[in-house]
């Protein structure tokens, strides 16, 4: 081949490389961030994004979604600055905080019946207590106003979904939420927790109230041993919370994340199904069946108090809100200082409150009464173990 022919081929090769390499599109195909593709978390068929306006809805491909860019930058292997990945359809709730490539839990705020994206963003930040302090006149402690979450914000990404769900019935909302969760699970992120914030609409013929809940438990402690908790077993679940009520709904969100991420049980008894003699729902570490189980899990912690309890109580008192949540004419609250100490407390756990078929480590905790925004030593131990799975970078 002569030099002229060789030059033409070389130019064509360079031109082709520029076309193919100049798209600027990055896909979630690295080992650190593989696409989510399990049958449970990501249906194989394309899932429509629910917008409340089906004519304007889009379809999410079953292929990994491309990432877009954000102002923050890092340095790639070539020495050139690159932008952190940001999944399509999701936006940063807190500017400058997220890094989709980091080893973090991904919280995704999904709005139901919000009038605007700005309203959703402001409500999401409030419900999370992202600033680290209680909200709503200092009475409501969202997740990141509570330890140990407050000290571990760097182990979370916080996103919001640009597709706001609109619905006028509970069934309509549930169906659209299932579709939207399927779309979120196709973004390529790992350890995703959709947080559905429901802005209530209640009028004649319209009732959008949804009982706050998690759709499951994020992890399960086995054999009454904290050593059974491993990162490969963590499968976070979606949670639902109503925004306007109760006043402490940000704390309710922390309670539901206790289920959806950290695998903690309901220690309370407030279900219409709790009839005398009904069996409690046993689930370690905070609802166990026998004294031997309790001894194994928290025998060495008896008498301990979650160090955040003092901070939480004094903050409420300084804000003038202690009496709002815990009226002095209700005798039960007077025992709180003792009831937050680890011991052997019988009953509840969604069972017969007068029975002895369940044992709890404390009488008061956020997994019992959500306005008591303290995990307690035993629950906090499990939360800290799960948070310890993540580097945050």
157 SS3 class:
strand
The reply to whether omega before 39 is within 30° of 0 (cis) is no
CB 227 within 8 A of CB 259: no
Query: Looking at residue 49, what is its pLDDT?
Result: 28
For residue 208, tell me if it sits in a domain.
yes
**Domain-embedded: residue 367:** yes
Question: How many structural domains comprise the chain?
Answer: 1
11-21 pLDDT per residue, tens: 333 333 333 33
Query: Does 284 map to a domain?
Result: yes
Rounded-to-integer distance, Cα 312 and Cα 302, Å? 21
What token pair was written down for 320? 């003038």
Q: Is residue 320 part of a domain?
A: yes
Asked, for residue 324, whether it belongs to a domain, the answer is: yes
Contacts of 20 (CB under 8 A, 6+ apart): none
Domain, as residue range, for 191? 73-387
Please check whether residue 178 is in contact with residue 111, taking contact to mean a CB–CB distance below 8 angstroms: no
In a domain, 36, yes or no: no
DSSP-based three-state secondary structure for 292: helix
Q: Do 361 and 294 meet the contact criterion of CB atoms below 8 Å apart?
A: yes
CA separation for the pair 124, 112 (Å, rounded): 12
**pLDDT on residue 142:** 98
**Structure letter (DSSP) for residue 341:** S
pLDDT of residue 82: 36
Give the integer Cα–Cα distance in Å for 362 and 342: 5
Domain-embedded: residue 21 = no
The phi, psi pair for 9, rounded to 5°, reads -65, -40
Contacts of 179 (CB under 8 A, 6+ apart): 47, 48, 49, 50
pLDDT of residue 42: 31
pLDDT of residue 275: 61
Contact assessment for residue 286 and residue 363, using Cβ atoms and an 8 Å cutoff:
no
Q: Residue 207: what pLDDT?
A: 83
Task: Output the domain CATH number for residue 324.
Answer: 3.40.390.10
- Which parts of the chain sit beneath pLDDT 50? 2-83
**Order of strands across the sheet with 86-87?**
26-27, 66-68, 86-87
Residue 229 lies in a domain: yes
């Amino acid at each position: 081949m002569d030099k002229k022919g060789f030059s033409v081929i070389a130019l064509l090769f360079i031109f082709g490389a520029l076309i193919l390499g100049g798209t600027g599109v990055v896909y979630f195909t690295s080992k650190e961030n593989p696409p989510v593709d399990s049958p449970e978390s990501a249906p194989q068929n394309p899932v429509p994004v629910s917008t409340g306006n089906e004519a304007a809805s889009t379809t999410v491909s079953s292929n990994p979604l491309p990432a877009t860019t954000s102002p923050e930058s890092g340095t790639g292997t070539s020495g050139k600055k690159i932008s952190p990945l940001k999944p399509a359809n999701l936006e940063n709730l807190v500017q400058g905080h997220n890094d989709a490539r980091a080893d973090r839990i991904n919280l995704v705020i999904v709005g139901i019946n919000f009038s605007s994206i700005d309203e959703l963003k402001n409500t999401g930040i409030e419900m999370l207590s992202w600033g680290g302090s209680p909200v709503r006149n200092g009475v409501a402690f969202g997740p990141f106003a509570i330890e140990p979450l407050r000290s571990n914000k760097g182990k979370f990404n916080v996103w919001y979904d640009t597709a706001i769900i609109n619905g006028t019935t509970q069934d309509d909302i549930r169906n659209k939420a299932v579709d939207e969760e399927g779309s979120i699970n196709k973004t390529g992120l790992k350890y995703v927790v959709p947080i559905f914030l429901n802005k209530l609409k209640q009028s004649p013929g319209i009732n959008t109230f949804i009982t706050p809940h998690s759709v499951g438990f994020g992890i399960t402690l086995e054999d009454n041993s904290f050593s059974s908790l491993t990162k490969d077993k963590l499968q976070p679940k979606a949670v639902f919370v109503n925004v306007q009520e109760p006043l402490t709904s940000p704390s309710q969100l922390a309670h539901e994340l206790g289920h959806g991420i950290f695998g903690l049980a309901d220690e309370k008894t407030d279900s219409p199904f709790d009839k005398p003699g009904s069996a409690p729902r046993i689930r370690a570490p905070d609802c166990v069946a026998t004294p031997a189980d309790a001894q194994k899990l928290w025998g060495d912690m008896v008498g301990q108090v979650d160090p955040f309890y003092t901070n939480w109580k004094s903050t409420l008192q300084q804000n003038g809100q202690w009496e709002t949540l815990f009226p002095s004419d209700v005798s039960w609250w007077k025992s709180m200082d003792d009831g937050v100490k680890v011991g052997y407390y019988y009953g509840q756990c969604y069972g017969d409150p007068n029975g002895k078929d369940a044992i709890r480590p404390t009488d008061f905790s956020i997994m019992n009464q959500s306005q008591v925004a303290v995990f307690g030593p035993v629950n906090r131990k499990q939360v800290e173990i799960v948070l310890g799975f993540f580097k945050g970078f």
